[in-house]
């Protein structure tokens, strides 16, 4: 029988790619999004598909789904630093109330529930690379606290529903991910650098640029999420690409790959900006038989092409 999956935040960058993957795997997909940061443009190609339904709804309110539901992927949340600074209360609400509602639906429907958590639960980490058993170094009252603490609460709530109600739960800790459908102006380093480089404008590096990130191409991430959902692992699993790079070198790489004349300029480092970030993915490798396949150069070329078309407004 055809399985049904609910994707909250299904019109967002990751959510929409997940909808595509689930449709390709033969699922009925119910995409729920309030379009706060998600965009209909990301899912419009699915509207004619009879296995796809879109519901515009804010999941901090009761979620009503009449049909059976086999899987729930809870991806709804503002997720770029700029977005959660702009929508701090919504970010806290969707991580707390929204996770509660989505778990309530999973309990009612006896669905497998997968939480899209984040490397931000590790905060500005004092352990490097980050392993799932590290508890993190988070400032609860800083500007990033609204996202970090909401996701930490969401993880705690997920484990409580698992332990107390016996819901089948999964927790993916998602590290920096990029690819087509990222918003050009979401404030993240990658879309900022690519659009600045394509326009030959100054590329804005925050701080001294020596902070590191590890960027995962979206198709790899979605494969990891899918494998985790089908596994029986209830403890958190890091999903990301361990290829670590400083933000300086990353900016230079983008300038080179775009053939741009842009120069680097340095701006103030945002508060609590993590100094290092790199996933230890040994757990995902051993229990999911998953590891990322797309190199940064390959992924960046596809993403640069996408941004070129978006900048020219070619659909
Ligand atoms: N960053 C930057 N220039 C920008 C945007 C971001 O140098 O225009 C830096 C940011 O301070 C951080 C890194 O790039 O150190 C990655 O930032 P991003 O917003 O992509 O996500 P984060 O990993 O901080 O959540």
Span 63-103, pLDDT tens digits = 999 999 999 999 999 999 999 999 999 999 999 999 999 99
Residue pLDDT, tens place only, 255-309: 999 999 999 999 999 999 999 999 999 999 999 999 999 999 999 999 999 999 9
Rounded-to-integer distance, Cα 97 and Cα 93, Å? 5
Ligand 1: centre distance to CA 253 (Å):
15
Residue pLDDT, tens place only, 111-140: 999 999 999 999 999 999 999 999 999 999
CA distances from 174 to 64, 130, 247, 255 (A): 27, 12, 19, 26
CA distances from 57 to 16, 30, 98 (A): 16, 12, 11
In the annotation, is 147 catalytic? yes
pLDDT for 168: 98
Ligand 1: centre distance to CA 87 (Å):
18
- CA atoms 173, 220, 283, 5: torsion sign: positive
Q: Which stretch of DSSP H or E encloses residue 239?
A: strand 237-239
pLDDT for 232 beyond 70? yes
- Provide the mean pLDDT of the chain: 97
Q: In the β-sheet with 168-174, what is the strand arrangement from edge to edge?
A: 52-56, 28-33, 4-8, 71-74, 112-118, 168-174, 237-239
% of the chain at pLDDT higher than 70: 99
pLDDT for 312: 85
pLDDT for 134: 98
In DSSP terms, 239 is beta-bridged to 174
**Ligand 1 binding pocket, CB closer than 6 Å:** 80-81, 176, 188-190, 192, 204-206, 211, 213, 247, 269-270, 273
Ligand 1 atom 16 nearest Cα: 189
- The one catalytic residue in 71, 122, 147, 161 is 147
Give the mutation target among 13, 78, 81, 178 for probing the ligand 1 site: most ligand atoms within 8 A of CB: 81
pLDDT for 1: 87
Task: Give the contacts of 135 (CB within 8 A, at least 6 positions apart).
Answer: none
Ligand 1: centre distance to CA 73 (Å):
26
Rounded-to-integer distance, Cα 24 and Cα 21, Å? 5
In DSSP terms, 4 is beta-bridged to 28
Which region, left, alpha or beta, applies to residue 35 given φ > 0 means left and ψ of -120 to 50 means alpha? Answer: left
255: number of Cβ within 10 Å: 20
* Coil/strand/helix, residue 82: helix
pLDDT for 315 beyond 90? no
Tell me which of 3.40.50.720, 3.30.110.30, 2.60.120.1060, 3.40.50.300 is the CATH number of domain 4-177+218-241+276-293: 3.40.50.720
pLDDT for 224 beyond 70? yes
pLDDT for 313: 75
73 by Cβ neighbours in 10 Å (0-12 / 13-18 / 19+) ranks as buried
pLDDT for 314 beyond 70? no
pLDDT for 218 beyond 60? yes
Residue pLDDT, tens place only, 33-66: 999 999 999 999 999 999 999 999 999 999 999 9
Q: Which stretch of DSSP H or E encloses residue 53?
A: strand 52-56
Quote the pTM value.
0.97
């Amino acid at each position: 029988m055809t399985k049904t999956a609910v994707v909250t935040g299904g019109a967002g960058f990751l959510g929409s790619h997940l909808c595509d993957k689930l449709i390709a795997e033969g699922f009925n997909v119910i995409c729920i999004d309030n379009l706060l940061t998600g965009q209909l443009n990301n899912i419009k190609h699915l509207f004619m598909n009879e296995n796809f339904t879109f519901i515009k709804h804010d999941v901090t309110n009761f979620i009503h789904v009449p049909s059976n539901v086999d899987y729930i992927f809870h991806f709804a949340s503002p997720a770029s630093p700029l977005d959660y600074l702009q929508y701090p209360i919504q970010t806290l609400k969707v991580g707390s109330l929204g996770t509660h509602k989505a778990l309530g639906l999973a309990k009612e429907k006896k669905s497998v529930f997968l939480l899209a958590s984040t490397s931000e639960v590790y905060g500005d980490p004092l352990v490097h690379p980050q392993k799932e058993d590290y508890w993190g170094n988070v400032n609860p009252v800083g500007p990033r606290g609204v996202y970090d603490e909401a996701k930490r609460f969401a993880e705690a709530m997920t484990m409580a529903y698992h332990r107390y109600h016996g819901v089948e739960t999964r927790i993916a800790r998602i590290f920096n991910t990029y690819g087509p459908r990222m918003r050009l102006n979401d404030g993240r380093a990658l879309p900022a650098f690519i659009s600045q480089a394509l326009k030959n404008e100054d590329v804005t590096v925050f701080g001294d640029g020596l902070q590191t990130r590890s960027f995962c191409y979206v198709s790899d991430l979605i494969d990891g999420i899918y494998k985790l959902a089908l596994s029986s692992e209830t403890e958190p699993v890091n999903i990301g690409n361990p290829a670590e790079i400083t933000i300086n070198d990353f900016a230079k790489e983008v300038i080179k790959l775009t053939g741009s004349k842009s120069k680097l300029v340095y701006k103030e480092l945002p508060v609590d900006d993590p100094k290092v970030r790199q996933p230890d993915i040994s757990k995902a490798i051993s229990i999911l038989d998953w590891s990322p396949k797309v190199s940064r150069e390959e992924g960046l070329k596809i993403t640069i092409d996408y941004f070129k078309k978006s900048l020219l407004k070619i659909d």
